[in-house]
Amino acid sequence: MGGWAIAVHGGAGVDPNLPLERQEEAKQLLTRCLNLGISALRSNVPAIDVVELVVRELETDPLFNSGRGSALTEKGTVEMEASIMDGPKRRCGAVSGLTTVKNPISLARLVMDKSPHSYIAFSGAEEFARQQGVEVVDNEYFVTPDNVGMLKLAKEANTILFDYRIPNSGYETCGSGVESPLQMNGLPISVYAPETVGCVVVDREGRCAAATSTGGLMNKMTGRIGDSPLIGAGTYACELCGVSCTGEGEAIIRGTLAREVAAVMEYKNLKLHDAVDFVIKHRLDEGKAGLIAVSNTGEVACGFNCNGMFRACATEDGFMEVAIWE
């Protein structure tokens, strides 16, 4: 085995005019979460526990689109989703439509560990959360002033808004003010930027794990489910690797993006970096997305086909990177 490795992401598709202070805040949060994971790995905490630990931290901070700070539906409410997968036996758990669960990733873990199912959604997931005694809060806890403002802008533009983090002042200089060729299921959208958080880990025993959590799209239809809770699309882990995706959910779903990384490693005998490059180039059609991945030999890789992805990664041999742009 090649030692432990970890990668964290805070979303792909970063607006090129995102203010420098916002970029610095994102880097600081990514660094804090990365160091949290590194500390756990140095203490021989299993990979599956590390990914849950790191994503919980990301969900608790309102900077990115998961947990507190989640994007709002067209009705101004929050509907969160998450999934987690343990590579050695391909055990998994996923949840969607959460409105009161403080840490969706931990409920996904409980679905994996404490239920006979792999995926529970909406009222059933909320009921399961109360049966398991997880912390719940009012829906208002997840709603931030920034997101209220962004929902207003999205409704005024009559669009699904990806970049819920563009500040209200100076909005005209950001993504919606430039031409964007991006379409979702053939329909144009005006802004594309960060959404979703995730973490992938391989521990010293070569065990891979992955976890992904999101609030989805700003101004999305109620009941919309993206790639993040879908095993094989937004999240996947097996004996070979662990993968977490971010970006245009509909494109990630169509390409079964996370599973494709493992598939080309297995069937084409590609190394992790080559597998990530292949999948980003050949499995997204016209969609925009990114992903982070680790292999059971201690490799770490990131890939995206948009202009940026909030990411951080480290390996046991001393490599460490925190970045946004290419």
212 is catalytic: no
Helix axis angle for 272-282 and 257-267, nearest 10°, is: 130
Name, in order, each residue with C-beta under 8 angstroms of 35's C-beta and a sequence gap of 6 or more: none
Is residue 248 annotated as involved in ligand binding?
yes
Is residue 166 annotated as involved in ligand binding?
no
Is residue 74 annotated as involved in ligand binding?
no
Is residue 159 annotated as involved in ligand binding?
no
Is residue 255 annotated as involved in ligand binding?
no
**Tokens 């995706």 found at:** 245
CA-wise closest residue to 238 among 266, 216, 257: 266
The pairs formed by 169-178 with CB atoms below 8 angstroms and a separation of 24 or more are 170/19, 173/17, 174/15, 174/17, 174/18, 175/15, 175/16, 175/17
Of 73, 99, 159, 196, which is the active-site residue?
Answer: 196
Question: N- to C-terminal Cα distance for the chain?
Answer: 29
Is residue 242 annotated as involved in ligand binding?
no
Is residue 79 annotated as involved in ligand binding?
no
Beta bridge partners of 242: 237, 294
Q: Please give the Cα distance from 107 to 70 (Å, whole number).
A: 16
Is residue 97 annotated as involved in ligand binding?
no
Q: Which residues are annotated as a binding site?
A: 224-227, 246-249
> What are the binding residues for substrate?
224-227, 246-249
Which residues are catalytically annotated? Answer: 196
